[in-house]
Amino acid sequence: MRRMNKLGIAVDVSHSGDRTSLDTVRHSGKPVLITHAGARSVWPTRRMKPDEVIRAVAERGGVIGLEAAPHTTLSPGHPRHSLESVMDHFTYCVDLVGIDHVAFGPDTLFGDHVGLHDVFAAQLSIDGAPHERVPYVDGLENPAECFWNIIGWLVTRGYSDTEIAKAIGGNVMRVLEEVWI
């Protein structure tokens, strides 16, 4: 970690286990990122991060980017994967660690992301709670073209321009500037 910090390497624990994530945060002298995951308290799969990890990342200045790849950031209130289920993770994480430590990292490919998950399901730890299989996340079918749906959702829920700017890139830029300096 010392060498990575010295070289200005941004460290991402999205696909790391809980213990590795906590050890990484503890040993890093710079903020750590979770670039694409969600809250295990919202959707109980190993692919999501437990509150302990999300808090540890935030306490050291890091950010969690909320994923929107099919069959990941579901929620009991929205079990068919949609913008609403992704935003359930967003509101949970904002309540848990504050707007300064939450962002979006959709992690959706241009192509068959579901096919990729089918091939690597065991390694990705997205199995677990039963859910309806979908070819894409409703409202975020193609995040490169539909990201504005996230912004629209934030606007209609009363988030300020400053809060929206933080969540849609400002928080990640803050971390990267600290890591790269």
Per-residue CA distances from 156 to 83, 101, 103, 125, 140 (Å)? 13, 21, 18, 33, 17
Strands of 68-156, DSSP E: 102-104
Domains of the chain, start order: 2-180 (3.20.20.140)
Q: How confident is the model at residue 23 (pLDDT cuts 50, 70, 90)?
A: very high
pLDDT tens by residue, 48-98: 999 999 999 999 999 999 998 777 888 999 988 899 999 999 999 999 999
Q: Identify the sign of the CA torsion 17, 104, 83, 159.
A: positive
Average pLDDT, the chain: 89
Better-predicted residue by pLDDT, 28 or 141: 28
Of 79, 74, 135, 142, nearest to 106 by C-alpha is 142
C-beta pairs of 111-116 under 8 Å, 24+ apart in sequence: 113/69, 113/70, 114/70, 114/71
Q: What is the pTM of this model?
A: 0.89
